[in-house]
């Protein structure tokens, strides 16, 4: 940090007239050591952390926030950037340089650099306090996930497929326990809720899952959320916005919370109507099964799986033997080869941070592109969920710097490691993010890879999910773990017929969380908020069916509160789904999912980073602005 600040001070204090080279490019070159160290530390803390690294994280979060604010609010630096911004029409900049200058200026303004000294000081203090609260929030969720488990006696295993039993045994072994347990790892609790016929155990597991972050005491996130929201609101109001959602979405493809709500409100009625049809099917099955009560949230997954088996002859236990992790990863690599001519070559000679991790060199026609780090399996000290990150980003300002990209998943580890179809889609999703980083072809570090507007960053990941559903991909890579036989065509047909089953439920639970996010960030007095009561109020107002919970309750909504990445922006997944549904329509209309011209256009989107406006990039690829109807058709919400 000291080295970085010295570099910044030298730029700001330069007696030379500001130029793009001595100001913007000099800023781009600064802080390399800090970036390298932070990249390694935070990647390892998330994927292979410990109590010690989490203590370091808590200690350094406010220090790093203060460091960032010192730079982002630096009067001398902002003065030089402002001077260049005012002259931008006469500087003879290329398109990428002009966008970089404009984005730098906007970033500084949105950080508070144009405020007076008192305003800048307050923005800096808010940044430091938020860093502490974000870190504490995330660590509280991890604590609750690590702290809870449900022991399973032999009789409790009845009805569970072998892969769930194996995952439960592996989870017990990792915690030094005998027998079988269910933990709050998504890769274990979701299949347990789907397959266990024990309603009493499903209820216990479900209630523990949704209670993360709500337990009174030191790890209660409901006491942190009002503070986080109030500080964000103050940030926005210092910058002239009435609320944080207005501030946040002013710099997005959507442009405003109203535009984001127009999307969620367009989808919501059709999704609820479809979910109500699904509920009737599930209730009929439950009643026939002997359940005298109305189905509850802990029943939905179980009866949905039963109805899916009955209606489409699809059984996840029948599917999973064909979805071996190594084969599905190979399918992702082959998709990248056929679309973008990339080869993934295992490099066991490169040291990895954990035995589960495999490192691949990525090449194109023998030319080194970067490294891909695969970390697929759940571990006790690993953050839950799935994500892409980077140890190093591509750029050319400092020479030909190639990227080091990591995909982290939390699949249940067993031998063999079998995935659900949802898991396979998740692998392809995160791989899409990885390709966004690997295919980056930019000059400046700040424009590299996924450094794009939040509601555009999910487009590359979500469009890649479509290729795992392709019959061609399935026939080549969905091979039975025991016999090696390809998945039968009739099972592919049943899988595709079932694709839109339960989409009402999935759309409702996601959209409810997206709306909750926007409303939390528009609350007029968040400091006095009763989080649980407000959450209930919002979900009641939109008419969330009682059998369906929001995908994320506020107290464990890490997208929003373990950092600011998706704050007031969780809608971005649905916004990007409009793009990906419309974009994939082009391949389907062509009748070739690997059409060379379309693949070249898609590569241009992946490689451009933040050098161009995202809508301009999308229209250049697709030929027109995205159309919502493609999303509605994709999810089966319209005829």
- Cite the active site residues: 430
SS3 370: strand
* Phi, psi at 343, each rounded to 5°: -115, 140
Residue 533 has a CB neighbour count (10 Å cut-off) of 9
Note whether 511 and 271 are within 8 A (CB): yes
3-state helix, strand, coil in the chain (%, to 5): 60, 10, 30
CA–CA distance, 559 with 566 (Å, rounded to integer): 5
- Which distant-in-sequence residues (6+ apart) come within 8 Å of 25 by Cβ? 397, 444
Task: Report DSSP letters for 288-335, one per residue.
Answer: HTT--SPP-HHHHHHHHHHHHHHHH---HHHHGGG-BHHHHHHHHHHH
Say whether the peptide bond before residue 416 is cis (omega within 30 degrees of 0). yes
Q: 3-class SS at 402?
A: coil
At 546, list the tokens.
């009682």
Q: How far apart are CA 380 and CA 181, in angstroms?
A: 13
Using DSSP bridges, classify how beta strands 358-364 and 367-377 pair: parallel, antiparallel or unpaired. Answer: antiparallel
Strand-by-strand arrangement of the 358-364 sheet: 343-346, 358-364, 367-377, 404-411, 387-392
From residue 320, give the alpha-carbon distance in Å to each of 56, 328, 413, 491: 40, 11, 14, 12
Contacts of 574 (CB under 8 A, 6+ apart): 263, 264, 267, 510, 511, 514, 631
Packing angle, helices 421-438 and 458-468, rounded to 10: 130
Q: Show contacts of 357-365: CB within 8 Å, 24+ apart.
A: 360/333, 362/438, 364/340, 365/341
Residue 357 DSSP class:
-
């Amino acid at each position: 940090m000291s080295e970085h600040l010295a570099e910044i001070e030298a730029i700001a204090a330069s007696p030379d007239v500001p130029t793009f080279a001595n100001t913007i490019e000099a800023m781009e070159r600064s802080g390399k050591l800090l970036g390298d160290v932070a990249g390694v530390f935070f990647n390892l803390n998330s994927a292979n952390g410990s109590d010690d690294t989490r203590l370091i994280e808590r200690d350094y979060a406010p220090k790093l926030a203060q460091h960032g604010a010192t730079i982002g609010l630096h009067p001398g630096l902002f003065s030089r950037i402002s001077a260049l911004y005012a002259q931008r029409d006469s500087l003879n900049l290329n398109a990428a340089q002009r966008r970089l200058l404009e984005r730098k200026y906007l970033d500084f303004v949105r950080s508070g650099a144009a405020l007076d000294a008192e305003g800048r000081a307050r923005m800096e203090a808010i940044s430091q306090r938020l860093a502490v609260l974000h870190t504490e929030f995330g660590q509280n969720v991890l604590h609750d996930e690590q702290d809870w488990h449900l022991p399973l006696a032999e009789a409790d295993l009845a009805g569970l497929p072998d892969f769930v039993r194996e995952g439960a045994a592996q989870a017990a072994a990792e915690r030094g326990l005998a027998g079988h347990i269910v933990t709050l790892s998504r890769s274990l609790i979701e299949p347990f809720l789907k397959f266990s016929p024990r309603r009493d155990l499903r209820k216990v597991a479900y209630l523990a899952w949704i209670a993360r972050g709500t337990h009174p005491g030191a790890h209660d996130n409901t006491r942190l959320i009002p503070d986080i929201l109030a500080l964000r609101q103050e940030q926005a109001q210092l910058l002239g916005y009435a609320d944080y959602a207005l501030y946040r979405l002013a710099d997005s493809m959507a442009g405003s919370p109203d535009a984001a709500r127009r999307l969620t409100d367009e989808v919501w009625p059709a999704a609820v109507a479809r979910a109500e049809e699904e509920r009737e099917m599930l209730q009929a099955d439950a009643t026939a099964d002997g359940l005298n009560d109305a189905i509850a949230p802990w029943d939905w997954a179980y009866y949905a799986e039963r109805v899916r088996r009955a209606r489409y002859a699809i059984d996840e236990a029948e599917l999973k033997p064909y979805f071996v992790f190594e084969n599905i990863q190979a399918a992702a690599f082959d998709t990248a080869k056929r679309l973008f001519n990339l080869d993934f070559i295992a490099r066991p000679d490169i040291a990895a941070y954990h035995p589960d991790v495999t490192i691949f060199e990525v090449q194109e026609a023998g030319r080194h592109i970067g490294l891909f780090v695969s970390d697929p399996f759940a571990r006790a000290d690993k953050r839950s969920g799935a994500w892409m990150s980077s140890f190093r980003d591509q750029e050319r300002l400092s020479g030909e710097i190639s990227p080091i990209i990591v995909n982290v998943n939390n699949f249940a580890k067993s031998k063999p490691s079998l995935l659900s179809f949802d898991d396979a889609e998740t692998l392809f999703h995160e791989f899409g993010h990885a390709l966004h980083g690997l295919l980056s072809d930019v000059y400046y570090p700040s424009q590299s890879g996924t450094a794009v507007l939040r509601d555009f960053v999910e487009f590359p990941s979500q469009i890649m999910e479509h290729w795992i559903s392709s019959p061609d991909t399935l026939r080549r890579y969905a091979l039975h773990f025991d016999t090696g036989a390809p998945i039968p065509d009739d099972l592919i047909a049943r899988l595709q017929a079932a694709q839109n089953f339960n989409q009402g439920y999935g759309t409702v639970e996601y959209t409810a969380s997206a709306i909750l996010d926007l409303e939390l960030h528009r609350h007029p007095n968040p400091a006095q908020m009763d989080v649980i009561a407000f959450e209930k109020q919002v979900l009641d107002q939109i008419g969330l069916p009682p059998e369906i919970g929001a995908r994320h309750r506020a107290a464990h909504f890490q997208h929003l509160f373990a950092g600011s990445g998706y704050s007031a922006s969780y809608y971005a997944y649905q916004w990007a789904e409009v793009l990906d549904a419309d974009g994939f329509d082009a391949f389907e209309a062509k009748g070739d999912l690997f059409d060379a011209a379309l693949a070249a256009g898609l590569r241009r989107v992946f490689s451009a980073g933040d050098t161009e406006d995202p809508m301009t990039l999308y229209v250049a690829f697709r030929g027109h602005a995205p159309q919502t109807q493609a999303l509605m058709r994709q999810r089966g919400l319209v005829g």
